[in-house]
Amino acid sequence: MALSIPFSANSHVSFFCLLIFVLMYLEGAQVYGAKREHGKPYHVVNVKSLDPNPYCIESTKDQSKRESLKVVHRHGPCSHMNEARTTAPTLVEMMSHDQARVNSIQNRLRVKSDHNSLDDSKATLPAKPGQSIGSGNYIVTLGLGTPKKDLTLTFDTGSDVTWIQCQPCIRCYKQQEPIFNPSASQTYKNLSCTTPQCSQLDISGCTRATNTCLYAVLYGDGSFTIGLYATETLTLTPSDVFPGFAFGCGLNNTGLFNGAAGLLGLGRGPPSLVTQTASKYGSYFSYCLPTLSSSSGTLVFGKDGGTTNSAGIKYTPLLTNSNGPSFYFIEVTGIKVAGELLPISQSVFSSPGTIIDSGTVITRLQPEAYDALRTRFRQLMMNYTMTQGVSLFDTCYNFSGHDTVEVPTISFVFGGNVEVPIPFHGILIGSQELACLAFAGNSDASEVGTFGNWQQQTLDVVYDVAGGKLGFGTGGCS
C-alpha cells in the first residue's frame, strides 16, 4: 500500500527550500547565504575564537626532551606579568607603538650609522636614527648573576644588545621582578673601555675616573637605556650557563618596556646573544610564538634542541643588507590567497627587500603587494559586511550574528619556492565585532617589507645563521 503524503502550496515551497539547503551543504556553501568560489581553500572557524581567552592553556607539544625557554605573550593569560589582569593596550595603541618601530627600522636602513660616542660627563645622546621597542609582545625568563636571579626580558631579533635595569637607578621604570643588584652578585664585572666588547657597540662611551665602558640604546619612540657595559654569568637552562656574557647594566632607563626587566638581543651583530653563544650553539636558534589568546611557546638555542617537527621544516636563504647588518633579510617571491598566486611582479618585493622581525606585530607589504592582497581578500569575503576600519586597518568586518565564518587562506612564497601558510590567527586581528585583515601597506614602494610576529604565530621559525638559511614549519605550538 502506497503511503500518500498530501502537499499544499506552502509545503511545496518548504520542500523546495529544504532541497536547496541540502544542495548548498553538499556543495560546501555556507548555510547562512554566503557565496564562495567553488573549490577554494578556506578556514572555517568559530567566531568566538577571535575573542581573547582568559585561561592559560599550555602548549600541547611534547617538550620533555628539549632544553628551551618558555615564551609567552606579554598580555596573554600565561604571562606572570599579567597576573593582575591589567588592561591590555587597545588595538589603536598597539598599532601606534608598532608603527613607531617600523618607522625606526626604515630609518636605520636608510642611513648607515657610524659609531657614536657617549659623553659620560653630560650623558648626552647623539642624534642618530634610533631603534624602537615597539609593543614588546613576547617575553622569556632567564637567570643572571651568582646566585642566579630570574629576570623576564622581551626578546627581539631586531636588536643586538642585551640589557637589564640595574641598581642603583638614576631613573628606572616599574618592572615586575626586583631590579638587579650587581653588588649582590659574585660574578659581575664592568668592562673597560679598551675591551673588544666595548668597541663593538653602536653607541659607547667611557667614564673618565674608572675607564669603564658605557653603552646606550636609543629607541624611535623616545625610549632609551643608558648604563655600564659589563659581563655576568647568564643562565638559560640548568645545563646552559655562560660565564662572561656581555650585557648592558642600565642605570637610566625610560620608555614603553611593559614591565619587563630589559631586552634580550637576538640580532646578527657581535653583541647579540646569538653571536656570544656561537661556540656552543653554532649561531642556531628557533622559536614558536604562541597566540595572544591562551597558549605558551618556546625559544630554543642550538640544533640539539631541535623543533617539534624538524622533518617538516622548509628552508629559505637568509640574506644580508650592508645598511642593516643586524637584521634577518629574506626573499619574498609571491603571495597566495585561497590557493591562487596574486598577480604581483617579483621586483615589487625584491627591490626594497623584506626582513623577518620578532618585534614588529603586523606584516608590512609594499603598497602594490598590499593592494593586490586586499583586493582579492575583499572579493572572497563579499558575503560579509565590511565595517569601518581602525588605525592601520582598512579591511574590517563585524561577524556578530554568525556562529562560524569562512576566511580564505593566505600563504607567503619565499626564495627557494618555500610556501608558508599563514595560520588563521595570523590572517585576522581584533574580535568578532571588529575583525580586520592583519596586514598593512608601507607608505612608499622603496620601503623594506617586514614579516611580523602576528603572522608567525604557532609556526616553528628556525634561524640557522651560520648556515645562511631560515626555516618554517607549521603547528609548532598551540
Half-sphere exposure of 377 (CA within 13 A, CB side): 24
Asked whether the predicted pLDDT for residue 244 surpasses 50, the reply is yes
Dihedrals phi, psi of 177, to nearest 5 degrees: -90, 165
Same-domain pairing of 260 and 348: no
pLDDT tens sequence across 334-385: 999 999 999 999 999 998 999 999 989 999 999 999 999 999 999 999 999 9
Domain end (from 241, 273, 301):
301
pLDDT tens sequence across 421-444: 999 999 999 988 999 999 999 999
Same-domain pairing of 175 and 252: yes
Same-domain pairing of 283 and 216: yes
Number of residues assigned to the chain: 478
Cell of 139: 617575553
Domain end (from 301, 320, 350):
301
Query: Which domain covers residue 367, as residue numbers?
Result: 308-474
Dihedrals phi, psi of 370, to nearest 5 degrees: -65, -40
Q: Distance between terminal CA atoms of the chain?
A: 59
Same-domain pairing of 338 and 297: no
Same-domain pairing of 261 and 332: no
Q: How far apart are CA 253 and CA 173, in angstroms?
A: 7
Q: Is 37 helix (H, G, I), strand (E, B) or coil?
A: coil
Domain end (from 276, 301, 326):
301
Asked whether the predicted pLDDT for residue 64 surpasses 50, the reply is no
Asked whether the beta carbons of 178 and 170 are under 8 A apart, the reply is no
Same-domain pairing of 347 and 401: yes
pLDDT tens sequence across 383-404: 999 999 999 999 999 999 899 9
Higher pLDDT, 111 or 386: 386
150-154, 209-213, 216-220, 268-272: which range is least confident on average?
216-220
Catalytic residues: 156, 357
CATH number of the domain enclosing 350: 2.40.70.10
Average the pLDDT over 94-122 and give the result. Answer: 69
Q: How far apart are CA 263 and CA 279, in angstroms?
A: 22
Predicted TM-score of the model (pTM): 0.85
Q: 169: Cβ–Cβ under 8 A, 6 or more apart, which residues?
A: 179, 251, 252, 253
Neighbouring C-beta atoms of residue 424, cutoff 10 Å: 20
pLDDT at 92: 87
Same-domain pairing of 146 and 295: yes
Number of domains in the chain: 2
Dihedrals phi, psi of 418, to nearest 5 degrees: -90, 115
Q: How far apart are CA 365 and CA 369, in angstroms?
A: 6
Same-domain pairing of 288 and 346: no
